[in-house]
A and B are shown apart, each in its own frame.
Chain A
């Protein structure tokens, strides 16, 4: 069927290089992927279209790009599966990375962040003569995160990275988890400590884009949550991030429902009085407009709170 591809071009060698969109009309088959179409364009219409591709089978990670606004692998995306109101397929390079040419991005920054998490096994103690002994249960879950092919889709669509390039990003954090969760690695404390800093694991905004766009179901955000839980569990120095989670849980246990002002105050703590005070104007305006609860600035607990508290207690007793 005839399909229009609207592709973002950029040629750094042109006189005044600016990105622009170019449209191509193509006859596509039922089974065609976007990569098939891009190759058809290169081979029959416009050889100058630059893109990275290799395995065609969603294992090498070369062909990451944004298709209809979301990052994915071109080789895995069937043209027929894409819905757009006017039948056009929009193809752009991945976001959050500089563009070298057309659909080819500079992944240097991506790799710098991977390097940051010291992505190699750091076993504790002497090497055994044979293999390290590790139960299947303790190793099985690593298959998910080891499946990451470093395609960059998660980094492309990360909302936190979009506003802050200092954030270490979902791919690096998932890679860090791979080692923290490996029973053979002896450095999980120092790894978590390093991620417990600004730009680290607490800067994820929990938007789930990385989970949604990952072509290998690595579930980066879930791994970031795992890292956070481990950090809290292993008694990392508290940050606003970890306090936020702890205070939240504490408030629910005692009131059953969120108490926003108390949550904010206790998250900030005394060290961040400046930040807390910066919210004063907004809080006053809210007060004036009647945006605080009718029951008063400090919420009452919900009816039946005892049961909620018991559920917390039961959970603490679980293995």
Chain B
């Protein structure tokens, strides 16, 4: 017997994008609920450290400048109409956050202060010490408490439901605490379930970043876009792959090789350590591959910044370096290396978060929306600038929520049988019945992650990608047969991890496929067998549709250009 709930709008995911969308939708008069697999403040948004970009015109900055930096940063794969909106509306959204209570850093005049960040010539990154993501996340949660919005806390969504007309009708999910399934009916579902970092091992991402939102949207029939665009962050710790914020370089830290040279001089003589992330990651990898690294890493040197700057503006990473690497940043440089960090690709949306084209230009799921890292407008194209992701979540979280509220008012309640949750319920029962054998979910997950990091990392080639592609069906087959030891209903984290692995496999397939199809190098996608950017053939996005019987079905969308024709990209 499953319970059913009804809302106008259900938001999946309670990170920055999800909560921002929920608030906007609520303000737009919709009956909103949030469903999240962890408590909102545990969302991975809290790991974003450095800051959030905005061009404030009263500081002599222009949104066009910010937009161009973003377009160039994306290696011209970003859709410029979406980027223009991001840059133009950024200012208003930063101020809205400050009014809500975010404790942004202040300059001497008592106004919001800025720091420099990668890929941008001006300092337009607003920040809270070096835990900006956490600071904003907690304030948005305060606003959710203030608005008293219902939150399905620690619920795991297994499917997006569509009615007979193909319209989005809600989600099927189970409460992790009790194992109880439910159908949450909604006119609109906004997916804001974050990224897919755990598909790679190691990754800066939290263990919950398993691409759930992307996978269930994909399975419901809406396309994923630009999945091959996976960002490797230049400064991650060896071992667990924890993030060291770009803000360190924003404050002036150097990258040096084993000979003590600031090697970025060779790769990006103008912007040096503040070039775009893909350029820096490749530079570091080359230094390491050519023997100028130390134990597979290069060094980030913060010493010359002085104790005061480090403790006041980089306090969190100071603690992190001490705890996880045994290093005092004021005394020694810290070994770092490129690590998987962000997915530029995701669920295709338009500039209002719709996962379908009202004009009919591409096929999706009417009534389904997406925002945040889960989505791909595309804002970030082939490479995301630092501090643009936090901005993405609040600007497009808001827009998506508002648009979704208006849309919800214009449609009828979907008509779906409550037994729609039976399928997933039975699937889980089948899983739990499997007999144990030697293989485990953890083993498959590790093999998948290591394979993806090896062949779909900073440098890719045909041979490596083919090997990865060859292994994916093997992993899938293992997953189809793997059993879990814990057969309980209450807080069965083994079951959750098993289902997450299924989501990760779907995402991995789209990443490998996209990378193999795109025969050029652009942004973070660098192939040693096609090192040139090919605007003639590849100034377009790759859409991928779920095909349960084989490889994803593909389609293309041209990149939308407004002001900036593609040019040579040097830093």
Interface size on A, residues (CB 8 A): 54
In the complex, the answer to whether B145 meets A120 with C-beta atoms within 8 Å is: yes
- Does B46 lie at the interface of the complex (its beta carbon under 8 Å from any beta carbon of A)? yes
Given contacts A60-B38, A147-B131, 15 further A-B contacts (CB under 8 A): A13-B489, A44-B442, A51-B493, A54-B38, A54-B42, A60-B41, A60-B44, A60-B47, A61-B42, A101-B491, A114-B145, A120-B146, A121-B99, A131-B111, A136-B106
C-alpha spacing A62/B109, complex, angstroms: 38
Q: Of B42, B135, B207, which is within 8 A of A146 by CB?
A: B135
In the complex, the answer to whether A120 meets B143 with C-beta atoms within 8 Å is: yes
Interface size on B, residues (CB 8 A): 63
Seen from chain A, the residues whose Cβ lies within 8 Å of a Cβ on chain B are 11-13, 31, 42-44, 46-48, 50-62, 76, 100-102, 104, 107, 114-115, 119-121, 123, 127, 130-136, 139-140, 142-143, 146-147, 149-150, 182, 184-185
Interfacial residues of chain B within 471-491, with CB under 8 A of chain A in the complex: 484-486, 488-491
In the complex, the answer to whether A48 meets B41 with C-beta atoms within 8 Å is: no
In the complex, the 9 A-B pairs of residues with the closest C-beta atoms, listed nearest first: A121-B101, A47-B485, A43-B442, A120-B142, A55-B206, A54-B206, A48-B486, A133-B110, A120-B146
In the complex, the answer to whether B485 meets A57 with C-beta atoms within 8 Å is: no
Closest Cβ neighbor of B142 among chain A residues: A120
Q: Which residues from B are CB-within-8-Å of A185?
A: 101
Question: Please, could you name 23 A-B residue pairs with CB atoms under 8 Å apart, sorted by A?
Answer: A11-B490, A31-B239, A44-B442, A50-B486, A50-B492, A55-B44, A57-B242, A60-B42, A62-B38, A62-B42, A120-B145, A120-B146, A121-B139, A130-B58, A131-B98, A133-B111, A135-B110, A142-B103, A146-B103, A146-B135, A147-B131, A150-B138, A182-B101
In the complex, the answer to whether B42 meets A131 with C-beta atoms within 8 Å is: no
In the complex, the answer to whether B44 meets A150 with C-beta atoms within 8 Å is: no
Q: Of A100, A134, A140, which is within 8 A of B490 by CB?
A: A100
Closest Cβ neighbor of B492 among chain A residues: A50
Q: Of B134, B138, B484, B489, which is within 8 A of A47 by CB?
A: B484
Q: Which residues from B are CB-within-8-Å of A56?
A: 206-207, 240, 242
Closest Cβ neighbor of A62 among chain B residues: B42
CB proximity of A307 to chain B, nearest CB, Å: 38
Q: Which residues from A are CB-within-8-Å of B316?
A: 59, 147
Q: Which residues from A are CB-within-8-Å of B509?
A: none
Q: Of B41, B111, B128, which is within 8 A of A150 by CB?
A: B41
C-alpha spacing A156/B511, complex, angstroms: 43
Using known A-B contacts A55-B44, A133-B111, A149-B41, determine if residue A60 contacts B206 with beta carbons closer than 8 Å. yes
In the complex, the answer to whether B142 meets A121 with C-beta atoms within 8 Å is: yes
- Does B418 lie at the interface of the complex (its beta carbon under 8 Å from any beta carbon of A)? no
C-alpha spacing A85/B106, complex, angstroms: 49
C-alpha spacing A184/B493, complex, angstroms: 42
Q: Of B41, B131, B491, B494, which is within 8 A of A61 by CB?
A: B41
Closest Cβ neighbor of B179 among chain A residues: A13
Closest Cβ neighbor of B37 among chain A residues: A54
C-alpha spacing A62/B42, complex, angstroms: 6
Interfacial residues of chain B within 84-136, with CB under 8 A of chain A in the complex: 95, 98-101, 103-113, 128-129, 131, 134-135
Q: Which residues from B are CB-within-8-Å of A76?
A: 323
CB proximity of B201 to chain A, nearest CB, Å: 12
- Does B177 lie at the interface of the complex (its beta carbon under 8 Å from any beta carbon of A)? yes
In the complex, the answer to whether A146 meets B485 with C-beta atoms within 8 Å is: no
C-alpha spacing A136/B109, complex, angstroms: 8
- Does B17 lie at the interface of the complex (its beta carbon under 8 Å from any beta carbon of A)? no
Q: Which residues from B are CB-within-8-Å of A62?
A: 38, 42
Closest Cβ neighbor of A148 among chain B residues: B138
Closest Cβ neighbor of B207 among chain A residues: A54
Q: Which residues from A are CB-within-8-Å of B111?
A: 130-131, 133
In the complex, the answer to whether A43 meets B440 with C-beta atoms within 8 Å is: yes
In the complex, the answer to whether A136 meets B107 with C-beta atoms within 8 Å is: yes
C-alpha spacing A31/B237, complex, angstroms: 13
C-alpha spacing A62/B142, complex, angstroms: 18
